[in-house]
Homo-oligomer: A and B are copies of this chain.
Amino acid sequence: MREETAGETDPLDPMEEREEKERGIMGQEQQDESKSEGQPASMNTQNSMTEKEENFVEVCAEMEEKGKEKGMEEGEMKKEMELEAEVTVELSQTVSAQQMSFIRGSDLFGYVGIEAVLDQMRRKTMKAGFEFNIMVVGQSGLGKSTLVNTLFKSKVSRKSCTPNYEEKISKTVKLHSVSHMIEEKGVKMKLTVIDTPGFGDQINNENCWEPIVKYVNEQYEKYLREELHVNRKRRIPDSRVHCCIYFLPATGHRLRPIDIEFMKRLGKIVSIVPVIAKADTLTIEERQEFKERIRQDLAANGIQVYPQNEYDEDPEEHILNNRIRESIPFAVVGTDKEHQVNGNKVLGRKTKWGIIEVENVAHCEFANLRDLLIRSHLQDLKDVTHNIHYETYRVQRLNESNMNFSELGLSTWPLENGTADKCESESHL
């Protein structure tokens, strides 16, 4: 952390400056120091890197700032200093800068091509494709299948969505998944839609969330077992639920007990995106008031829906996500019918009093939902599932099973008295 603190030093404060000079000198001695502490130098550096890793973005931002303040002058000095082996105390400001050694494009004596890695990743993703698993929950008749079909512009849902489609409402909550491979502009997505027929359709809906909680956890369990397997697959098949769209009926009232009970439980294990279904029944005022009341109820019941406040990764993302949080739940309308509006074909629902254009943000918030789920946050939904929900499940499971790896065979490996002491590390971050 030494270098980061140095980066924050105010050059006008003489106390700070002296401290920094000392640090600068200490920095030069770093190798011997760590040796005398009897700790392998490499381990030492490893730890400090880890701390840095976590503050990576902030540090970069800081450095950026610093760089702007000092401009080219520092760069010149640094270059000069690197050529000379001798470093005088007068240059301590530069010494600490060298310790960080953030080499910018302008400091390089030519083009390296680091950004090529982005294209390499892009090609690999396009070749391999990716998985996305979406669950829809809500009582029957709220247009779950139609909405998913509208989202992915194809019949990806199990049901035929035609009015003459008839099915008896099942007496228990069932889970049903359908997978499709969708390719658009060379990008292949294996989409799995998990439907939950029977949810909320019973006279007594007690514990109707249980099969759903179980399903979600089962997918984490499968992934965990695959991950812990000795001979594991190169790419672990991902059946984990990346997103659960919860359909609220457009009652215009408040959240019902079943909504609260479901989201309270599921919100802890999966990313929930609540939507107001068939929102064409609400007037503009009703919609605004209903949304506001739902947000109040969510907050009052401590229900976390996606994008969760606590998982925002940086201030930029926080601002962006706040805007989304202020407008959830999205009031949506789904359709698979096209109509002519001013000579253009638009997806819409034709009524005697006008056409509701589904993708027109002035008419409903379907486009906002689609943007969130697909165009702006799809990867983030996958990341939150992997980094937060799956990780939480994993910690809980491993604690349950009392699996303490350091007590198992792994401690027998001679990492402690290996060659680590022969390796000297320097970190210029």
A residues in contact (CB < 8 Å) with B? 42, 45-46, 49-50, 53-54, 56-57, 60, 63, 82-83, 85, 100-105, 107-118, 120-122, 124-130, 151-156, 158, 160, 162, 165, 172-190, 210-211, 214-215, 218, 221-222, 224-225, 228-235, 237, 239, 313-314, 336, 338, 347, 370-371, 374-380, 383, 387, 391, 394-395, 397-406, 408-410, 412-413, 415, 418-420, 422-429
Tell whether, in the assembled complex, residue A378 and residue B120 are in contact, meaning their CB atoms are under 8 Å apart. Answer: yes
Tell whether, in the assembled complex, residue B162 and residue A214 are in contact, meaning their CB atoms are under 8 Å apart. Answer: no
Bound-state CA distance A395–B63 (Å) is 41
Task: Chain B residues near A391: list those with CB within 8 A.
Answer: 232, 234
Q: How far is the CB of A371 from chain B (nearest CB, A)?
A: 8
Question: Given A109-B336, A115-B184, A215-B419, A424–B175 Cβ distance below 8 Å?
Answer: yes
Bound-state CA distance A118–B379 (Å) is 9
Bound-state CA distance A422–B419 (Å) is 55
Tell whether, in the assembled complex, residue B370 and residue A239 are in contact, meaning their CB atoms are under 8 Å apart. Answer: no
Task: Chain B residues near A156: list those with CB within 8 A.
Answer: 103
Q: Specify how many copies of this chain sit in the oligomer.
A: 2
Bound-state CA distance A377–B123 (Å) is 11
List 11 A–B pairs whose Cβ atoms lie within 8 Å, in order of A's numbering.
A53-B235, A103-B156, A108-B153, A114-B185, A121-B125, A127-B313, A174-B423, A177-B426, A179-B426, A190-B429, A401-B412
Question: Given A174-B423, A190-B429, A231–B395 Cβ distance below 8 Å?
Answer: yes
Bound-state CA distance A424–B174 (Å) is 8
Question: Given A49-B179, A183-B103, A422-B172, A410–B376 Cβ distance below 8 Å?
Answer: no
Cβ-neighbour of A428 out of B49, B105, B179, B224 (below 8 A): B179
Bound-state CA distance A395–B231 (Å) is 6
Cβ-neighbour of A423 out of B124, B177, B179 (below 8 A): B177
Task: Chain B residues near A60: list those with CB within 8 A.
Answer: 129, 181, 183, 188
